[in-house]
């Protein structure tokens, strides 16, 4: 069975400790490879390599850095099928989704930042004939990048690509639950000839490897995507060390459906925004609020469509809902369904583990689940579940639904369905979230700032904001007389 290796100083390296963790294929519930159980010593090696590489990489001309990134993008595109298969097995997601969304978006990250850096400019401020100020943007140093399991390569590369383009060197840690595509990326970086130490990938547990990266004094910047609790822990370590910090955290996103929406488009998209990737996208709408006059029709149609979604093996092209990522995660999601029942909710469909049989009978499958009858302030409607489970609720007025939408500690994304332009803009202005999608969901323009408010995070990724984050502004003031 394959033993994944760390990528340090340009090479794939064996662990000194020879300790490994099981890597489980969630579609079968079986170990299929091993992940390095790295520790502080491995992190130290990676940080030393990144530190040594930084002076040369930070002054490597932008167009040269750009060429490396574009080469890596091309290699990801070349290996699309291989990477998609690896991601599907590692994560349990439908292969089709990995092929059409995750891996193309990972390549797009390298493309976007590889070309974007060529157009990134700093400011000058003239004080008429007294002085000129210009802002020098310099790469921060060794960037620590830590990512989650739900969109493994896509989110991993969204951090790494802008960091490298901006001139930082990187020590990155993918989730220990889904390490495979990060491992394959390290092979592609070697093939692309990326200079030694510029990117280092250390695999292992969050409490060991992640913690060691965050706490290290030679890592002045942390870009983290993951759970809110982990983010709070990271902030508690990084803040007293005055590190630059970007935290992309959990969500409990509202999907607000007004009676005047384009119904068919709304229904089709709401099925995706509820159940795509088994509901394990931080941007999925998990609270669906529907204007009372269309609630009964919506409920009937939504449940009917959800029941039609095929829960099946990730590699089967007909599968719409694959396996959730792990056994503990499946148990957590199913416990929330039990909680919803205790809170007085009615399960309209799903609510159980699905057994798809054969070689997949030990896999972690959950039926798409719709729950109604819970008020907005119940725990089921306040806490992140992160699985194929949504609640639906009828609302009377715009004021009421706004209050419900804004009632959680989270503020990541939201969706609004209406044909009334004025109402759409009013809702966009009043919803407390980093993203408001109007009559669409998951449309991505990489130039826009991305991130949440409240407990969904601080800082912004995406666009040129990412270059601002990975560089330090220095004002130079020149007196003219
Ligand atoms: P997680 O917080 O458990 O883990 C995320 C990463 O942090 C992993 O690599 C993990 O090993 C590492 N980690 C864990 N403990 C650590 C520590 N003490 N120090 C440093 N690193 C540590 O999250 P997860 O379960 O992998 O991912 C699911 C969560 O991520 C959900 O809450 C989801 O909403 C969130 N998420 C947010 C976004 C966003 O853009 N806001 C995107 C995707 C996922």
Give tens-digit pLDDT for 282-294.
Answer: 999 999 999 999 9
User: Cβ(449)–Cβ(467) under 8 Å?
Assistant: no
**What is the atom index within ligand 1 of the atom nearest the CA of 205?**
11
Dihedral Cα 426, 427, 430, 435, nearest 10 deg = -120
Domain ranges across the chain: 6-249+455-477, 253-445
pTM above 0.95, yes or no: yes
Average pLDDT for 366-379: 98
Pick the CATH number of 253-445 from 3.40.800.20, 3.40.309.10, 3.30.1230.10, 3.40.50.1360: 3.40.309.10
Q: What is the C-alpha separation between 121 and 112, in angstroms, rounded?
A: 16
CB atoms within 10 A of CB 243: 20
Helix (H, G, I), strand (E, B) or coil at 263: helix
Q: Using the mean position of ligand 1's atoms as its centre, give its distance from the Cα of residue 380 in Å.
A: 21
Q: What is the C-alpha separation between 300 and 436, in angstroms, rounded?
A: 26
Helix/strand/coil percentages in the chain, nearest 5: 45, 25, 35
- Name the token pair of 210: 């992640």
Tell me the per-residue pLDDT of 174-189, one tens digit each, with 9 for 90 and over: 999 999 999 999 999 9
> Which sequence positions are flagged as catalytic?
248, 282
User: Cβ(444)–Cβ(463) under 8 Å?
Assistant: no
User: Cβ(181)–Cβ(190) under 8 Å?
Assistant: no
Q: Using the mean position of ligand 1's atoms as its centre, give its distance from the Cα of residue 422 in Å.
A: 37
Half-sphere exposure of 340 (CA within 13 A, CB side): 31
**What is the atom index within ligand 1 of the atom nearest the CA of 214?**
20
Average pLDDT for 437-466: 93
Task: Identify the sign of the CA torsion 406, 408, 412, 418.
Answer: negative
Number of helices (H) and strands (E) in the chain: give both, helices first. 15, 25
8-state DSSP, 320 = S
Q: What percent of the chain has pLDDT over 90?
A: 98
Of 155, 151, 145, 137, nearest in space to 90 by CA: 151
Class of domain 6-249+455-477: alpha beta
Q: What is the C-alpha separation between 178 and 326, in angstroms, rounded?
A: 10
Question: Radius of gyration (Cα) for the chain, nearest Å?
Answer: 23
Residue 459 has pLDDT above 90, yes or no: no
Residue 463 has pLDDT above 90, yes or no: no
Residue 460 has pLDDT above 90, yes or no: no
C-alpha to C-alpha distances, 391 to 30, 254, 303, 331, 366, nearest whole angstrom: 32, 10, 11, 18, 16
C-alpha to C-alpha distances, 253 to 204, 305, 405, nearest whole angstrom: 30, 21, 8
Q: What is the C-alpha separation between 379 and 210, in angstroms, rounded?
A: 30
**pLDDT score recorded for residue 435:** 97
**What is the atom index within ligand 1 of the atom nearest the CA of 384?**
32
**pLDDT score recorded for residue 268:** 98
Q: What is the C-alpha separation between 220 and 226, in angstroms, rounded?
A: 19
Q: Which of 38, 109, 144, 148 to mutate to test the pocket of ligand 1 (most atoms within 8 A of CB)?
A: 148
User: Cβ(454)–Cβ(475) under 8 Å?
Assistant: no
C-alpha to C-alpha distances, 37 to 14, 21, 27, 50, nearest whole angstrom: 11, 6, 23, 20
138 forms beta bridges with 472
386 lines ligand 1 (CB under 6 A): yes
Q: Please enumerate in sequence order all residues whose Cβ is within 8 A of that of 431, keeping only pairs 6 or more positions apart, or say none.
A: 254, 256, 402, 405, 406, 414, 416
Tell me the per-residue pLDDT of 383-413, one tens digit each, with 9 for 90 and over: 999 999 999 999 999 999 999 999 999 999 9
Q: Whose CA is nearest to atom 10 of ligand 1?
A: 206
143 forms beta bridges with 170, 221
Average pLDDT for 156-178: 98
Average pLDDT, the chain: 97
Half-sphere exposure of 64 (CA within 13 A, CB side): 10
Q: Using the mean position of ligand 1's atoms as its centre, give its distance from the Cα of residue 313 in Å.
A: 25
Q: Using the mean position of ligand 1's atoms as its centre, give its distance from the Cα of residue 222 in Å.
A: 13
Helix (H, G, I), strand (E, B) or coil at 200: strand
Of 430, 473, 25, 83, nearest in space to 256 by CA: 430
173 lines ligand 1 (CB under 6 A): yes
C-alpha to C-alpha distances, 301 to 83, 116, 124, 298, 405, nearest whole angstrom: 36, 43, 57, 5, 23
**What is the atom index within ligand 1 of the atom nearest the CA of 412?**
41
Q: Using the mean position of ligand 1's atoms as its centre, give its distance from the Cα of residue 248 in Å.
A: 9
**pLDDT score recorded for residue 462:** 86
- Residue 16 binned pLDDT confidence (cut-offs 50, 70, 90): confident
Q: What is the C-alpha separation between 355 and 352, in angstroms, rounded?
A: 9
452 lines ligand 1 (CB under 6 A): yes
Q: What is the C-alpha separation between 376 and 398, in angstroms, rounded?
A: 15
Tell me the per-residue pLDDT of 79-130, one tens digit each, with 9 for 90 and over: 999 999 999 999 999 999 999 999 999 999 999 999 999 999 999 999 999 9
Of 309, 304, 336, 303, nearest in space to 322 by CA: 309
- Name the token pair of 260: 């005047």
């Amino acid at each position: 069975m394959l033993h994944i290796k760390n990528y340090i100083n340009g090479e794939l390296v064996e662990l000194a400790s020879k300790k490994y963790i099981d890597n489980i294929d969630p579609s079968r519930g079986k170990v299929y490879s091993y992940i390095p159980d790295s520790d502080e010593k491995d992190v130290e090696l990676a940080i030393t390599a990144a530190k040594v590489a930084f002076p040369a990489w930070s002054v490597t001309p932008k167009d040269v850095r750009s060429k490396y990134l574009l080469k890596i993008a091309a290699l990801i595109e070349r290996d699309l099928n291989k990477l998609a298969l690896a991601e599907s097995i590692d994560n349990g997601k439908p292969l089709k989704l990995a092929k059409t969304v995750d891996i193309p978006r990972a390549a797009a990250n390298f493309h976007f930042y590889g070309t974007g850096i060529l157009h990134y400019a700093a400011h000058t401020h003239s004080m008429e004939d007294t002085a000129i100020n210009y802002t020098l943007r310099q790469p921060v140093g060794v960037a620590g990048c830590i990512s989650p399991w739900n969109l493994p390569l896509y989110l991993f590369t969204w951090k790494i690509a802008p960091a490298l383009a901006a001139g930082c060197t990187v020590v990155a840690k993918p989730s220990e639950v889904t390490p495979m595509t990060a491992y394959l990326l390290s092979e592609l970086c070697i093939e692309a000839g990326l200079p030694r130490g510029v990117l280092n990938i250390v695999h292992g547990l969050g409490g060991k490897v992640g913690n060691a990266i965050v706490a290290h004094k030679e890592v002045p910047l942390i870009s983290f995507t993951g759970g809110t609790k982990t983010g709070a822990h990271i902030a508690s370590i990084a803040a007293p060390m005055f590190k630059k910090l970007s935290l992309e955290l959990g969500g409990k996103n509202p999907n607000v459906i007004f009676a005047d929406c384009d119904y068919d488009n709304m229904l089709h998209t709401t099925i995706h925004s509820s159940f795509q990737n088994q509901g394990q996208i931080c941007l999925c709408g998990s609270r669906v609020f529907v204007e009372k006059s269309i609630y009964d029709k919506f409920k009937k149609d939504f449940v009917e469509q959800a029941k039609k979604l095929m829960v099946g093996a990730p590699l089967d092209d007909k599968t719409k809902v694959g396996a959730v990522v792990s056994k503990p995660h499946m148990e957590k999601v199913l416990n929330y369904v039990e909680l919803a029942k205790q809170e007085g909710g009615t399960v309209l469909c799903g609510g159980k583990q699905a057994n798809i049989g054969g070689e997949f009978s030990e896999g972690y499958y959950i039926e798409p689940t719709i729950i109604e009858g819970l008020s907005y302030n119940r725990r089921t409607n306040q806490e992140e579940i992160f699985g194929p489970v949504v609640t639906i609720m009828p609302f009377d007025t715009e004021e009421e639904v706004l209050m419900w939408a804004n009632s959680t500690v989270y503020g990541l994304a939201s969706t609004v369905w209406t044909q009334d332009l004025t109402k759409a803009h009013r809702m966009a202005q009043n919803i407390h979230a980093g993203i408001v999608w109007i009559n669409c969901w998951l449309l991505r323009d990489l130039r826009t700032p991305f991130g949440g408010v409240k407990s969904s995070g601080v800082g912004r990724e995406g666009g040129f904001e990412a270059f601002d984050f990975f560089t330090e502004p220095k004002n130079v003031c020149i007196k003219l007389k």
